[in-house]
């Protein structure tokens, strides 16, 4: 029988060994994808390793504006995580998320799905601009950016009453792994595997937790955003390319049901049911209750009461992502 001190010494040895073996890998992909699936990996990495790479913008353009991959929500990866197995949880810490070019783009009109029916008739046209982004597309307004994380403003006036200039808040729109059942799912929606989360707090310093469904996990990231408010109501997050550095880790044999996010001051659970936001919130709230009980040791009544008293429910994306946030100041140390 192994005593507790010996187990602790062994655990410390394993952590030190992992840290000693960790590497920083620079990845320059020669191919990109538009689906979350077990594609041929661009790199194989281990728990503890750090990756330095670049993300194209959602339409596949790089930091010079060159079209590299003509698609939508273009993804970098996948990264095969050695030792990741179904039933594990993959942790992705975003160490660095920085703008790497001086322009992005948005539409100019809120999606009609987010407007009352009686407010749709008489809307101004979404066609605002010349065909500068791609042939036939006239609904993309260029925004001027100040990399790596400065101010952002539209390239042309949209009115004369307010100053449309905002501090950039760079974030990653898509973070996900290969889905269950050998599926290949478009980079458009969000699901249990992650995907197109479009949560504007997945920026520098955030840690994304994802369930693993395939051996190797097959992590993919993409869809860089310079900044946007809750809901991504126009349908874009000021699309641009990014310099990204992230570190991966594993929690072996600790499974979760939906994606989770750790921020400096909050823990967050995400849920989604496209077309039914209240059902997405049910998933996010249920996942939060499970996290508080299994991860922090709260009783069910404690967990439910804490959620009731402190939860911040946010529409991360009008197109399907609901977020439940709990301030860390109310929590005990995690298990």
Domains of the chain by residue range: 22-84+97-188+216-247, 266-330
Q: What is the pLDDT of residue 173?
A: 97
Classify residue 261 as exposed, middle or buried by CB count within 10 Å of its CB (0-12, 13-18, 19+).
buried
Q: What is the spatial distance between Cα 202 and Cα 310, in angstroms, rounded to a whole number?
A: 21
Closest among 104, 96, 57 to 76, alpha carbons compared: 57
Predicted TM-score (pTM) of the model is 0.90
- Architecture of the domain defined by 266-330: Roll (3.10)
Determine if residue 180 is left, alpha or beta; phi over 0 gives left, psi from -120 to 50 gives alpha, anything else beta. beta
How far is 106 from 69, CA to CA, in rounded Å?
19
Which residues, given as ranges, of the chain have pLDDT below 50? Answer: 1-17
The crossing angle, in degrees rounded to 10, of helices 277-296 and 300-310 is 130
Superfamily of domain 22-84+97-188+216-247: Acetamidase/Formamidase-like domains (2.60.120.580)
Closest residue by Cα to residue 196 from 214, 172, 178: 172
In this structure, what token pair is assigned to residue 177?
Answer: 């792994």
Number of neighbouring beta carbons within 10 Å of residue 52: 15
Both tokens assigned to 215: 């051996």
| Neighbouring C-beta atoms of residue 295, cutoff 10 Å | 16
Residue-level pLDDT at 232: 93
Tell me whether strands 166-167 and 171-176 are parallel, antiparallel or unpaired: unpaired
Q: Cβ contacts of residue 52 below 8 Å, gap of 6+? A: 24, 25, 26, 27, 96, 244, 245
Please give the structure tokens belonging to residue 189.
């929606």
| Cα–Cα dist 332/132, whole Å | 52
Query: Please, which residues have CB within 8 angstroms of residue 32's CB and are 6 or more apart in sequence?
Result: 56, 60, 68, 69, 71, 74, 75, 76, 222
CA neighbor of 270 nearest in space, from 244, 261, 246, 35:
261
pLDDT given at position 14: 42
């Amino acid at each position: 029988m192994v005593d507790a001190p010996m187990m602790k010494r062994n655990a410390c040895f394993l952590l030190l060994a992992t840290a000693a073996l960790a590497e920083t890998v620079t990845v320059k992909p020669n191919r990109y994808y538009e689906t979350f699936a077990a594609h041929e990996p661009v790199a194989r990495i281990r728990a503890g390793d750090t990756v330095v790479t670049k993300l194209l913008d959602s339409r596949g353009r790089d930091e010079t504006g060159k079209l590299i991959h003509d698609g939508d929500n273009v993804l970098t990866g996948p990264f095969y995580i050695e030792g990741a197995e179904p039933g594990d949880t993959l942790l992705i810490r975003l160490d660095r998320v920085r703008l790497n070019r001086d322009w992005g783009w948005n539409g100019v009109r809120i999606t009609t799905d987010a407007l009352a029916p009686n407010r749709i008739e008489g809307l101004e046209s979404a066609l605002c601009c010349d065909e500068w982004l791609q042939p036939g597309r006239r609904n993309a307004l260029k925004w001027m950016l100040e990399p790596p994380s400065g101010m952002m403003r539209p390239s042309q006036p949209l009115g004369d009453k307010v100053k449309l200039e905002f501090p950039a808040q760079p974030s990653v729109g898509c973070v996900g792994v290969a889905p269950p059942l050998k599926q290949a799912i478009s980079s458009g929606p969000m699901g249990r595997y992650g995907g197109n989360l479009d949560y504007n707090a997945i920026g520098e310093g955030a840690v994304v937790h994802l369930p693993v469904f395939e051996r190797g996990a097959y992590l993919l990231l993409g869809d860089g955003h310079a900044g946007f408010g809750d809901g991504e109501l126009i349908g874009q997050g000021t699309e641009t390319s990014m310099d990204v550095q992230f570190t991966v880790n594993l929690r072996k044999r600790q499974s979760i049901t939906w994606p989770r996010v750790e921020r400096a001051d909050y823990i967050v659970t995400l849920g989604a049911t496209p077309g039914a936001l209240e059902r997405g919130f049910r998933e996010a709230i249920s996942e939060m209750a499970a996290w508080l009980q299994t991860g922090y040791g709260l009783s069910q009544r404690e967990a439910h009461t804490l959620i009731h008293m402190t939860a911040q429910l946010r529409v991360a994306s009008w197109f399907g992502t609901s977020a439940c946030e709990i301030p860390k100041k109310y929590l005990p140390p995690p298990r």
